[in-house]
A and B are shown apart, each in its own frame.
Chain A
């Protein structure tokens, strides 16, 4: 995941908003994603944004995309203890052979305190 950068840890209080940031490098990526990994489980897609959009909102989740700075953020409103997990930013750059292959960041561990 060297082309996708995220901070490793974020700690928030229950009820506050969480903002997880990510920078990516590949301008050919058509979609950008946020995945969630709970302990002992695989990754699950939380949300995605098409590269020609600036913002996408889905219930408590807001994704902001700044294409000029190649910066993606995920805001979780009213963060709950059940939101504690690792959040991965991902892009799908065009690989050799013409396929789009998901590339993941290192993941941000979100810890929510009661």
Chain B
């Protein structure tokens, strides 16, 4: 039982490049989330999904897109990376409201 797995763990992008971050969970959770963590800002919600085929915007959705084609996967896309998107990205999943399980994070640097 791996829990929540994020790939890649580290990435450096040039401004304007695109990439996709993959989150996979093996706990059959309905809810999945993408957060970004910046120093002094805590965790801010980018997008979330309450089930396969559904997505919704969070607090800071601009510049990101997401897809939940399969229940176990939640993809976060950056179409044209900007230096302001340099951050640590965390994926999480939950069955209900009791506990969210987090991945180990992806450290993204945009130069």
CB within 8 Å of B: which residues of A?
1, 8, 30-31, 33, 40-45, 48, 88, 92, 95, 97, 99-107
Q: A36 to B40: give the CA distance in the assembly, Å.
A: 16
Contact A42 B102 (CB under 8 A): yes
Q: Mark B34-53, 1 if CB is under 8 A from A, else 0.
A: 01000011111100101000
Contact B42 A105 (CB under 8 A): yes
Contact A104 B99 (CB under 8 A): no
Interface size on B, residues (CB 8 A): 25
Q: Does B12 contact A (CB under 8 A)?
A: no
Q: Mark B86-111, 1 if CB is under 8 A from A, else 0.
A: 00001010100111101111000000
Beyond A43-B90, A45-B99, A101-B58, whether A106 also contacts B45 by CB under 8 A is no
Besides the contacts A102-B33, A102-B100, what 11 more A-B pairs have beta carbons closer than 8 Å?
A1-B42, A30-B97, A43-B92, A45-B99, A48-B98, A88-B43, A97-B56, A99-B31, A100-B97, A102-B45, A102-B92
Do most interface residues of chain B lie in helix, strand or loop, or is the interface mixed?
strand
- Shortest C-beta distance, B34 to chain A (Å), equals 12
Q: A39 to B44: give the CA distance in the assembly, Å.
A: 18
Q: A40 to B105: give the CA distance in the assembly, Å.
A: 8
Contact A44 B102 (CB under 8 A): yes
Contact B41 A106 (CB under 8 A): yes
User: 19 A–B contact pairs at CB < 8 A?
Assistant: A1-B41, A8-B40, A31-B98, A40-B105, A41-B104, A42-B92, A42-B102, A42-B104, A43-B100, A45-B100, A48-B98, A95-B56, A97-B50, A99-B31, A101-B45, A104-B42, A105-B42, A107-B42, A107-B43
Out of B31, B45, B56, B102, name the residue touching A103 (CB < 8 Å): B45
Q: Which of B1-51 contact A (CB under 8 A)?
A: 4, 31, 33, 35, 40-45, 48, 50
- Shortest C-beta distance, B44 to chain A (Å), equals 7
Query: Residues of B contacting A101 with CB < 8 Å?
Result: 31, 33, 45, 48, 58
